[in-house]
Amino acid sequence: MNHATATQAQRLRPSSAWTGWGQWLALITMTFDHVARYLATDAWGMGWVDSSIGRIAFPLFAGMVAWHGLFNTRDPLRYARRIMVIGLVAQLPYQLMPREAIFQLNICFTLALGLMAGHWLEQVAQRTARGELGLVRLSLETFGVIAAWYVAGFWFEYGHEGLLLVPLYTLAIGQIQRGGNSPLQRLGALLAALPVLLLAGMMNSSEMAKSITVITTLTVLALAAGACSLVPNVQWKMPRRMWLAWYPAHFAVIAAILLYLGRAAYP
């Protein structure tokens, strides 16, 4: 890449300063949600957490994964594999959490598989534009992706709907960023944003939970539309080791407490 091309790519890459704030918000709301869901008893009076701040974490994590997959990594598949490694470390303590499902893969696998699907969608668009993807090949690949989504949806946290969140974010954010100022281009960006917003509204049962999820998703889309340039860098940047270790570590702590109390679900 020559200097002019590199400069142009830098201009086209939006600011990611908001993700520094997003990391803190996602970890805090996720931890509150899991403490309320797995440790709290009715006497704690924390039932409100699940339908309010507890609904921020997943759409925020998904938005950051899609954002980094589009703008901050040269190899989205390698990025997805790193997320899966975190999921593997967290799976045992996660499996000790009391739930209805006998076996379920944690959210890291949901995010990683969604990132792979989003990367595939981006590659399909590029290969089609270059004339490298024929109808037969596209049909076979699409069938394989849909089949994988259908099977995985029964075993992954947040199910079929959760697996669609990152790829739909990828489509929406990519279209918003590539879109121009003409009425047709603005309409294309709007249409690309509708599926992820509709999905966000379908992911929960209560009206409050739906509203929080949609607002979080809409906020990420607003950042993609240009609001990201208004966000300053976070003053206390989260240490990388903390970001990578928190998910499995906080489950390990919760699992240890549940084992001590005799409330763990044995795999």
Contact between 44 and 148 (Cβ < 8 Å): no
CA pair distance 77, 65, nearest whole angstrom: 12
Q: Which burial class, exposed, middle or buried, applies to 34 when counting CB atoms under 10 A from its CB (0-12, 13-18, 19+)?
A: buried
DSSP state of 27: H
pLDDT (tens place) for every residue of the chain, 267 residues total: 444 344 334 446 899 999 999 999 999 999 999 999 999 877 787 788 888 898 999 999 999 999 999 999 999 999 999 999 999 999 999 999 988 777 899 999 999 999 999 999 999 888 887 878 788 888 999 999 999 999 999 999 999 999 999 999 999 999 888 776 666 767 777 888 999 999 999 998 888 999 999 999 999 999 998 899 999 999 999 999 999 999 999 999 999 999 988 887 765
| pTM, two decimal places | 0.90
**Which of 199, 211, 154, 230 has the alpha carbon at shortest distance from 63?**
199
